[in-house]
Chains A and B, each alone.
Chain A
Amino acid sequence: AQSVTQLGSHVSVSEGALVLLRCNYSSSVPPYLFWYVQYPNQGLQLLLKYTSAATLVKGINGFEAEFKKSETSFHLTKPSAHMSDAAEYFCAVSDFGGNQFYFGTGTSLTVIP
């Protein structure tokens, strides 16, 4: 069975500061890992995904994440926060076949001007 844990339900950063959102996974098999962003009353938009290729994954809007098997982590980072980055972020895991897809509890990112 797979699961993900997102540490920190709320994160606040100043505009221009580094964004770091944490995600740890638990999986009995090599997983696929994803980060999604959700704006109020909207669906989810894929930021990036790891599917057993390069461990450092670059996504949209300047986000990237690094898969670290030894730490079972897939933390999301962005060098410089923008006001438009304020949203809810979800880490998700699926198995190789994509037959199960589970989400973390989410992290609400606030960007302070």
Chain B
Amino acid sequence: GAVVSQHPSRVICKSGTSVKIECRSLDFQATTMFWYRQFPKQSLMLMATSNEGSKATYEQGVEKDKFLINHASLTLSTLTVTSAHPEDSSFYICSARGQGGTEAFFGQGTRLTVV
């Protein structure tokens, strides 16, 4: 199957700083990328959907100014958590879907800890 690489796998940052998470599709063109947040022992919560070259569509309750999503190319999307706070600590997962594809392929996830 297609490969999606997410980096970094773990990051620790200080409160008030910003953190960027990258999601790359290695062997296909990702026309759509999804960003999820997962709390311990819980399901994945869709944060936003982005189509290459367009602004991301955020789910209700997700602050677009805090979680900046860029999908400037067909192989790369980034999620930047701005002015991070301890409550932003979570597991963030991206997934990518190609043009006409029926499934989304997932990255390995990023464990963000804000101290």
Residues of B within 8 A of A98 (CB): 32, 97, 101-104
Residue tally, chain A, CB below 8 Å to B: 23
Query: Dominant SS at the B interface?
Result: strand
Greatest chain A CB density within 10 A among B36, B91, B106 is at: B106
Q: How many residues of B contact A (CB 8 A)?
A: 26
Q: Please, what's the 1-or-0 string for A29-63, where 1 marks a CB less than 8 Å from any CB in chain B?
A: 00010101000011111100101000000000000
Residues of B within 8 A of A94 (CB): 102, 104
**Number of residue pairs A-B, CB distance < 8 angstroms:** 58
Q: Quick one: which of B30-50 are within 8 Å of A by CB?
A: 32, 34, 36, 41-44, 46, 49
With a cutoff of 8 Å between Cβ atoms, the chain B residues found around residue A49 in the complex are 102-103
Interface residues of A (CB under 8 A from B): 32, 34, 36, 41-46, 49, 51, 90, 94, 98-106, 108
A-B contact pairs, 18 of them (CB 8 A): A41-B111, A42-B108, A43-B4, A43-B6, A43-B106, A44-B95, A44-B106, A51-B102, A90-B44, A94-B102, A94-B104, A98-B97, A98-B103, A99-B32, A101-B46, A101-B95, A103-B43, A106-B43
